[in-house]
Amino acid sequence: MSQPRNRRSIWRSLAIFFAALVILVVYAYGLQVTKVDLEKPKEARRQAQLTNIIRGLARPRLFEYEEKRLEIDAPLMMPCNDQVVLPPVDTSGRYIELTPNCVALGGRVTVNGYNFEPGETVFLYFLPRAASIHEQVELRLADAPIEVNPQGQFTYVAEMRKDRPSDEPQAIRAVVKMRSGLPHPSDTLKDTWDKIVETVFLALIATTLGTALAIPISFLGARNLMSNVVSPFGSIMTGLLLAPVGGVVGFRLFSWLKGLGGGLGQRAWPGLGALMVSIAVVWALILLLSRQTRGRFAALRQGGLGLLAALLAVFALGLLATLGIRLGLGLQEVLGPFAFLGNLIFVIADLLAIILPLLGGLMGLFLFVSLGSSLSGRFLRSTRPTTAKAFTAIAATLAGAVLAALLLGGIAWLYEVENPVRFVAVPAAAVGAIMLVISLLVDVQRPVPTGMIVYNITRTILNALRSIEPLIMVVAFAVWVGIGPFAGVMALALHTIAGLGKLYSEQVENILEGPIEAVTATGANRLQTIVYAVIPQIVPPYIAFTIYRWDINVRMSTIIGFGGGGGIGFLVQQNLNLLKYRDASVQMIAIAIVVATLDYASAKVRERIV
């Protein structure tokens, strides 16, 4: 009985011993790798540097005085020349006396100052006067500024130069710099203010963009919403096959419509008229659509009217974008200090013009996929098994081949492959063949969990994106759109999508199932269920998380400039590199104030809402 226990305890001790050994090695290696060197911080040179930095940081350059420069000259002959009589020194105010007042090259002169203010600092210069020098130059005499004693006097023994002889009187000059007037905000403070405003707005725009995109994505990443989305294999394949087609058709169609609207928008009044007319028609169509209709062709009619309304709406948006761009540019010129309002209109309109075709691509893709998969799903259910099998096989083969070809085409372009046709065609055919085999093996009626596939893809992408720090992302964006706040906005927005997407979808997963059940039971469709049962439940946590993210983004935006992303971080980095610690200090104070204020404010808001 005691034997095995004993043995076990020996093993245990050994195991503990080895574990301790391993831990020791890990830490030893860690110290080595991180170059921990306790001697470094003790070196005098480094301590002096540290003192420098701390002193600089302790005296932020918040305010500056206007400086007045007082110059007090005393004549000097070098070398001595009896022919020249030096003028007397005015002793009414501050003055300096030279003994002797003539000296050989390289000789010594004692400079005595009188009537100075105690505690002032004085800089001493030598003013050579030579034919070769046209302007007055000041050559520094003393290495360090001289301090005036409590009696208002100072003495300094100056060693003269050997290279500036002259027949005319030269001079020694004492310079006192005096602050005058009231202190005023320093230039650093003004720059800091500009940049801190930029920083806060950078965070705002990034949070807004990121949130807007994270919300729809979070639904795709919520298990409880996606788990019951299923469809037969054949209809998924049809959807996949139609996806690129829909994307291209949508993109082309929207570009064309936008161009059409844009053409009209070139002239202001006709453009405005056309805009009004098209908005009115779209409105009329929507009213027509909202009527309940029954009958055989009701769905077809509704669909047709809807499509017409959508196309007209795109045309109107294209028109609006062009008009907006023109309006924005115009306002920028006439608004003066409020030109940024014009810029806002310009940016929004420009954004609209850019995203319209992309939106078209997305909508086309979505429409084709959902129509294709639901129609083919119906067909597959109603038709004979052999037909269903054949249909599935064809759809799968084509979908596999087309998607593989597109993907490989992209890779061929990226790596500039030599023979793109062969590089693409052969594997695409192979993928098609594989899909054919798979489609023959699967049960065509059996539903495939599409929702879970989408869920997993979404979560994977979000996790991958989240693991890349915005400070790294911004480097890539700075290369793409140039160094500046725009790159910072994009990097932060992307990271916000990834971060919030996950947090949001977890909130969706946490909501009560009951209301969803109840709304589904009324015969509501999926979208209606989301709007009526999901969204009301997620609004409070979504707001809380958005505020939390806004906090993070403000913090991030203060340093995103280190990576070229604009904002105050850019200034901090610059000043640190130039060893201008007093200026960097101002920026650090600004960052502290902004972060603390927004922290406090958002905590308050969160308390209110949740």
Partner 1 sequence: MLEVKNLTKIYDNKVLALDNVSFQVEDGQFMAVIGLSGSGKSTLLRCINRLVEPTRGQVIWDGVDITAAPQEDLRLIRRRIGMIFQQFNLVTRASVLTNVLSGRLGYTNPLWSLINYFPKEDVEKAMANLERVGIADKAHSRADELSGGQQQRVGIARALMQDPQILLADEPVASLDPVLAHSIMRILKKLNQEDGISVICSLHFLDLVQQYADRAIALNEGRPVFDGLPREIDDQRFKEIYGRDAERIG
Stretch binding partner 1 (CB under 8 A), from 43-51, 97-105, 470-478, 507-515: 507-515
**Which residue from 136, 165, 140 is spatially nearest to 78, judged by alpha carbons?**
165
CA distance 193 to 604: 25
Longest C-alpha distance within the chain, in Å? Answer: 128
User: Helix (H, G, I), strand (E, B), or coil: what is residue 63?
Assistant: strand
Q: Which is nearer to partner 1, 115 or 374 (CB)?
A: 374
CA distance 208 to 539: 16
Of 519, 576, 589, 595, the residue at the interface with partner 1 (CB under 8 A) is 519
Query: Does residue 83 touch partner 1 according to CB under 8 A?
Result: no
CA distance 83 to 324: 82
Query: Does residue 366 touch partner 1 according to CB under 8 A?
Result: no
SS3 content of the chain, % helix, strand, coil (to 5): 70, 10, 20
Query: Radius of gyration over alpha carbons of the chain, in Å?
Result: 39
Structural contact between residues 347 and 336, judged by C-beta atoms closer than 8 angstroms: no
Query: Does residue 522 touch partner 1 according to CB under 8 A?
Result: yes
Q: Which is nearer to partner 1, 9 or 528 (CB)?
A: 528
Of 202, 317, 365, 533, the residue at the interface with partner 1 (CB under 8 A) is 533
Structural contact between residues 537 and 161, judged by C-beta atoms closer than 8 angstroms: no
Q: Which is nearer to partner 1, 41 or 523 (CB)?
A: 523
Strand ranges in 211-366 using DSSP code E only, listed in sequence order: 231-232
Q: Which is nearer to partner 1, 181 or 523 (CB)?
A: 523
Nearest-approach distance from CB 534 to partner 1, in angstroms: 9
Q: Which is nearer to partner 1, 81 or 302 (CB)?
A: 302
Query: Does residue 15 touch partner 1 according to CB under 8 A?
Result: no
**Which residue from 393, 401, 397 is spatially nearest to 444, judged by alpha carbons?**
393
Query: Does residue 384 touch partner 1 according to CB under 8 A?
Result: no
Q: Which is nearer to partner 1, 130 or 288 (CB)?
A: 288
Q: Which is nearer to partner 1, 3 or 292 (CB)?
A: 292
**Which residue from 265, 264, 261, 301 is spatially nearest to 285, judged by alpha carbons?**
301
Query: Does residue 510 touch partner 1 according to CB under 8 A?
Result: no
**Which residue from 375, 371, 429, 423 is spatially nearest to 402, judged by alpha carbons?**
429
Stretch binding partner 1 (CB under 8 A), from 78-86, 310-318, 398-406, 528-536: 528-536
CA distance 243 to 403: 9
Of 4, 294, 523, 607, the residue at the interface with partner 1 (CB under 8 A) is 523
Size of the site for partner 1 (CB under 8 A): 29
**Which residue from 276, 284, 285 is spatially nearest to 304, judged by alpha carbons?**
285
Q: Which is nearer to partner 1, 3 or 290 (CB)?
A: 290
For 357, counting Cβ atoms within 10 Å of its Cβ (0-12 exposed, 13-18 middle, 19+ buried), the class is buried
Query: Does residue 295 touch partner 1 according to CB under 8 A?
Result: no
Structural contact between residues 446 and 232, judged by C-beta atoms closer than 8 angstroms: yes
Q: Which is nearer to partner 1, 26 or 539 (CB)?
A: 539
Residue 359 token pair: 């939106």
Query: Does residue 224 touch partner 1 according to CB under 8 A?
Result: no
Stretch binding partner 1 (CB under 8 A), from 26-34, 120-128, 449-457, 530-538: 530-538
Strand ranges in 36-168 using DSSP code E only, listed in sequence order: 63-76, 95-99, 108-114, 121-127, 139-140, 146-147, 154-159
Cα 101 → chain centroid: 65
**Which residue from 270, 362, 275 is spatially nearest to 318, judged by alpha carbons?**
275
Nearest-approach distance from CB 365 to partner 1, in angstroms: 20
Taking the CA atoms of residue 430, residue 433, residue 434 and residue 439 in that order, the dihedral angle to the nearest 10 degrees is 160
**Which residue from 339, 336, 65, 64 is spatially nearest to 190, judged by alpha carbons?**
64
Placement of tokens 């509704």 in the chain:
302
Of 266, 383, 510, 528, the residue at the interface with partner 1 (CB under 8 A) is 528
* Terminal-to-terminal C-alpha distance of the chain: 61
Query: Does residue 379 touch partner 1 according to CB under 8 A?
Result: no
The CA–CA distances, whole Å, from 294 to 75, 299, 304, 512 equal 110, 8, 15, 36
Query: Does residue 374 touch partner 1 according to CB under 8 A?
Result: yes
Nearest-approach distance from CB 219 to partner 1, in angstroms: 14
Residue 194 token pair: 């500009």
Amino acid at site 267:
R
Nearest-approach distance from CB 526 to partner 1, in angstroms: 9
Return all residues near 308 (Cβ < 8 A) that are at least 6 apart.
285
Q: Which is nearer to partner 1, 86 or 519 (CB)?
A: 519
Of 377, 484, 561, 563, the residue at the interface with partner 1 (CB under 8 A) is 377
Amino acid at site 151:
Q
Stretch binding partner 1 (CB under 8 A), from 94-102, 166-174, 397-405, 514-522: 514-522
Nearest-approach distance from CB 320 to partner 1, in angstroms: 20
Nearest-approach distance from CB 381 to partner 1, in angstroms: 6
Stretch binding partner 1 (CB under 8 A), from 271-279, 360-368, 374-382, 575-583: 374-382
534-593 binders of partner 1 (CB under 8 A)? 536-537, 539-540
Of 114, 515, 543, 548, the residue at the interface with partner 1 (CB under 8 A) is 515
Amino acid at site 553:
N
Query: Does residue 53 touch partner 1 according to CB under 8 A?
Result: no
Beta bridge partners of 184: 64
Q: Which is nearer to partner 1, 2 or 525 (CB)?
A: 525
Of 33, 525, 607, 608, the residue at the interface with partner 1 (CB under 8 A) is 525
Stretch binding partner 1 (CB under 8 A), from 73-81, 313-321, 344-352, 511-519: 511-519
Secondary structure letter of residue 88 according to DSSP: P
Q: Which is nearer to partner 1, 245 or 305 (CB)?
A: 305
Query: Does residue 4 touch partner 1 according to CB under 8 A?
Result: no
Q: Which is nearer to partner 1, 265 or 377 (CB)?
A: 377
Stretch binding partner 1 (CB under 8 A), from 363-371, 377-385, 406-414, 550-558: 377-385
By the criterion CB under 8 A, which residues form the site for partner 1? 286, 289-290, 292, 374, 377-378, 381, 512, 514-515, 517-525, 527-528, 531-533, 536-537, 539-540
